[in-house]
Structure 1
Amino acid sequence: MSRFDTPVVVTRGDAEGPLVVLLHGRGSRETEIIGLADALPRGLSYAAVRAPIAEHGGFAWFANRGIGRPVAESLRATMDWFRLWLDGVAPPGRPVVLVGFSGGAAFAGGLLLDDPARFAGAAILYGTLPFEAGVPTDAARLAGVPVFVAQGDHDQVIPRELLDRTWRYLTVESGAPAISRRDQVGHAIARDALAALAGWLVERAAFPAPPGGPVTAPAHRERLPGDLPDRAGSRPDVSTTTPQQQRTDNAPTEVRESCSPG
C-alpha cells in the first residue's frame, strides 16, 4: 500500500450510510475516538483510523510542530496512504465527511485542502490547519464545501495564534459555508459543541455537498450597465453563524431602508 502498514480501522453504524471518518489526536488512538459515534447521529457509517506514525505523536505531527520539507513530504505520503484506503471503502457517489480532533484536525484539514472535491464536508475540532505543510490555502479554496469549526477559549495545547489563523481562514478566506463556535473549555470537546456537530452531520447526510469541488468564477461575466468599478480594500467582517450577517462595510442607512420590504 505504501511505506506504511495497512490501515487499522474500527467501525460503527450503518455500513451503507454516508461515511464519517474520525481522526484522533496526540496520545489517543482509533479505539478511543470511535466512542464519539455514540453521541452522533444514527444512520451514518463511522470509521476511526489509527495514525500510521505514532512515534511522532500520530496525526499531530502535521500540526505545525516542525515546519518545512520533511513535514510536507510526510503529510503527502500519509495522505496518499489514507486516500488509497478511503477510495477502496468509499467509491464515487458515497459522501465522505472528515471529523478530526486536535492533531487529527490538522490531518483532516490537509486532506480537505488537498482535494476539496473529494469530501462532503469536514469538522476541524480544537486544532489547526497545516498551513506550512505544502497544501494550498489560497482564497476561496473551499468554496461550497461545508465546514464545522469548534475551539476552546481556554485551549493551552494548540497555540492561540494558530487557532486564530485557522478560525479566520475557515470562516472568511476559504469561502467555505462554515458553522463555527468557541466554548468556555480547554482542549476538550464541549458538550454543546458535540450536540452542534451532531446536528451538522444530520444536515450533511440530508444535503451532501454537490460533486465537482470548489465553486469557481466563470470565465466570462455579464457586465452591469455602467461597469461597476473593482472593489478596493479588505473583505468585510461577517458573522460565523447561520444566517450569516455582514458586520462592516454596510450600505448607508438610507439605502438599506429603501430596500426593506414595506
Structure 2
Amino acid sequence: MTDTFPEPTVATGGSEDPTAPLVVLLHGRGSHERDIIALAPHLPAAAAYAAVRAPIAEGGGFAWFANRGIGRPIAESLDATMTWFRTWLDDAAPSGRPVVLVGFSGGAAFAGGLALADPQRYAGVAILYGTMPFDAGLPVDPGRLDGLPVLVAQGDADQVIPRELLDRTWRYLTDEAGAETVATRDPGGHGISALALQHLADWIIGLVPSSATRD
C-alpha cells in the first residue's frame, strides 16, 4: 500500500549539523509542511527541524490518515502511513540520532501513533491540540509510554477535536501511559497559542540541553 504514496516532501530549518537532534514537525489535516515549519525560528536553534508533508491529498492540503470521524483514524490507513513515514525517518535519522516528534491536530494523532507503536524510537513526543489515536489498532495499555518525555497542550475552547477525545488524551498521558508528561492548557481554541509555543520551546530545551537559546 505504501507504494501508492509519493516521495516525502520535507521543509527544513534550524541546525544543519547532521548529528543534531532532529525535531520532526507534523502538520494538521488539510495543511502542509510550509505552515508548520514556521514554528522552527521560535524553537531552540541547536536542533534540526524537518516538516514532512503528509502523504494523503485532502481539501487543498494533506492528511496523515483516512478517518472515520475527527480524531478517529482508520487502523489500516494509519498503519500504512506510519510505515511510509518510518522509511523516510530511518534515512533522515539513523540509529543514534535523537528524534523528537511534534504534532499539531491530525499530526498529533499521527505522532501519538508512532510513539505507541515504537516508544523506544523517540526522545520525546509533543501532542498539540489533538488526540492520541485511540481504537486504531495500537496498544494503549497502562505504562505503554513508560519514561517517554511527552508534552500535551490543549485549548479549553477547542471546538474541532471532540472533547471526549481531548479529555481521554489528557487522562492517558498524565496518568495511565507512564510518560514523563508536561501538560498545559490555555483558554484559546484550536490553534497553537503563544503560551503553548513557549512551553514547547522550553520543553525541547530540556530534551536538548545544548540548545539553551532561541532565535
Amino acid aligned to 1:105: A
- Name the CA shift for 1:66/1:142 in 2 (closer, same or farther; >3 Å): closer
1:59 is the counterpart of 2:64: yes
- Percent sequence identity is 61
Aligned pairs for 1:148-227 (under 5 A) are 148-206=151-209
In structure 1, the partner of 2:45 is 42
- The aligned amino acid for 1:59 is W
Unmatched segments (≥5 aa) in structure 1: 208-262
Rounded Cα–Cα distance in structure 1 between residues aligned with 2:44 and 2:164: 33
| Structure with the larger RCO, 1 or 2 (CA within 8 Å, 6+ apart) | 2
1:92 aligns with 2:95: yes
| SS of match in other structure, 1:15 | coil
Q: Summarize the alignment of residues 9-88 of structure 1 with structure 2, pairs less than 5 Å apart.
A: 9-16=10-17, 17-55=20-58, 58-59=63-64, 61-62=66-67, 65=70, 71-88=74-91
* Cα 1:153/1:60, change in 2 over 3 Å: farther
Are 1:23 and 1:104, in contact at CA under 8 Å, matched by a contact in 2?
A: yes
SS in 2 for 1:189: coil
Report which of the two structures shows the higher radius of gyration computed on alpha carbons: 1
Unaligned residue ranges in structure 2 (runs of 5+): 211-215
Per-residue deviation at 1:62?
4.9
CA 1:203–1:64: 2 relative to 1, 3 Å? farther
Match of 1:143 in 2: 146
* Count of matched residue pairs: 205
Aligned 1:248-259 pairs, distance under 5 A? none
Matched ranges for 1:103-122 at <5 A: 103-122=106-125
Q: SS state of the match for residue 2, structure 1?
A: helix
Q: Report the CA distance shift for 1:64/1:177 in structure 2 as closer, same or farther (over 3 A).
A: farther
TM-superposed deviation, 1:64: 5.1
- The alpha-carbon deviation at position 79 of structure 1 amounts to 0.4
1:81, 1:8 → 2: CA distance?
Answer: 12
Q: How far off is 1:205 after superposition?
A: 1.2
Q: Does the residue aligned with 1:142 lie in a helix, a strand or coil?
A: coil
Contact conserved, 2:129 with 2:155, CA < 8 A, in 1? yes
Please point out which of 127, 132, 136 is paired with 2:135. Answer: 132
Q: Is the 8 A contact 1:100 1:107 kept in 2?
A: yes
Q: C-alpha offsets along residues 201-248 of structure 1, whole Å, 9 cap, x if unaligned?
A: 0111139xxxxxxxxxxxxxxxxxxxxxxxxxxxxxxxxxxxxxxxxx
AA paired with 1:39? Answer: H
> Under a length normalisation based on structure 2, what TM-score does the superposition of the two structures give?
0.90
TM-score, scaled relative to structure 1 = 0.75
Q: Which structure dedicates a bigger proportion of its chain to strand?
A: 2
Q: 1:119 to 1:139 in 2, by over 3 A?
A: same
The RMSD of aligned alpha carbons is 1.8
CA–CA separation in structure 2 for the residues paired with 1:103 and 1:160: 15
Change (3 A) 1:48 1:123: same
* Distance of 1:26 and 1:103 partners within structure 2: 5
